[in-house]
Amino acid sequence: MEDTQNRSVLDQIKDHTVVVADTGDFDSIRQYEPQDATTNPSLILKAANQPEYAELVKDVVNRAKQEGVTLVDEVMDRLLVRFGVSILEIVPGRVSTEVDARLSFDVEGSLAKARSLIARYEELGFSRDRVLIKLATTWEGVEVSRELEKEGIRCNMTLLFSIVQAVACAEAGSQLISPFVGRILDWYKQSTGENFEGPEDPGVKSVTEIFNYYKKFGYKTEVMGASFRNIGEIKELVGCDLLTISPNLLQEMKEDFSEIDLKLSEDAAMACNLAKTEIDESSFRFQMNEDEMATTKLAEGIRKFSVDVRSLEQMLAEMLAS
């Protein structure tokens, strides 16, 4: 057996799971050498407000001005893709770029936005197979994914908190899902007043169930655990297809030299006693309605991302007007 004493937890996890950087910060991505990277409006807003990215943002706005572009929406798309392209120049794999959260219930609007973002990447020489379009896992988002996947536009289904959302995405042929481990934990801690750790963490349980379901029934959709609150959650999901992790937790794992074990595997999934289920729109909506946690966190996530989109728009509008 290989000696793990001189290997960090981060290096050990990379033996079993694709590590993805959950950040818009280029230096962090370089430092931790992930395969892929994910972004969202909150991360882009945070990065855009940092001095080291001021010139990038200013350059995007100035080019738009020179070309007579006055629509903030178009400048926003240019900025998102500029960040994405900069990330693709660092990572060997894929970047996720998110559709405006305000389109989470708008099928046609989301389709148009996704196609526009992909076209911008392709115009800059980056093929669509290196870009994942992030969509909120509403029923409308699932339907958007179903259509985009037919066009070879791969989707990352985000704000996912339940098995019913996961099954719907798998049935639609979505490339990847991002179940939110930490936000599930947050809800249960707040609603029960209890603390949960290790395999008893509700977020860990949720991702484990989804992973096992996908593997048992042969779905190709990738599972990428997201939104972690501590490295204990990450250690419980070693073996998951991918894990997207914030820079502070990546650093903590880099400094941790404890030995970790494989937790999730296809063999273990095949041995699980799970029943296959079919999901249509009415059953999706009813089961979501029955799941207070999933309904609450999905709505909350859409609202929070929408706030950050508006903040980013306001910043760009002020720069365009100056």
CA angle 89, 221, 108 (to 5 degrees): 80
* Coil, strand or helix at 178: strand
Rounded to a whole number, what is the largest CA-CA distance in the chain? 63
List helix spans (H) across the chain.
9-13, 26-32, 41-48, 54-66, 72-88, 107-123, 139-150, 163-172, 181-192, 202-216, 231-235, 247-254, 266-270, 281-290, 292-321
- To the nearest 10°, report the CA torsion of 279, 221, 215, 203: -80
Q: Are the C-beta atoms of 213 and 166 separated by less than 8 Å?
A: yes
- Measured in degrees and rounded to the nearest 5, phi and psi for residue 177 equal -120, 150
Q: Which residues are CB-neighbours of 266 under 8 A, at least 6 positions away?
A: 215
HEC string of 246-265 equals: CHHHHHHHHCCCCCCCCCCC
Q: Which of 14, 65, 134, 276 is catalytic?
A: 134
Cα 97 to Cα 70, 116, 184, 304: the distances in Å are 22, 12, 23, 17
134 is catalytic: yes
Backbone φ/ψ region at 217: left (φ over 0), alpha (ψ -120 to 50), beta: alpha
- Burial letters for 275-285: b for 16+ Cβ neighbours within 10 Å, e otherwise? eeeebeeeebe
- Active-site positions? 134
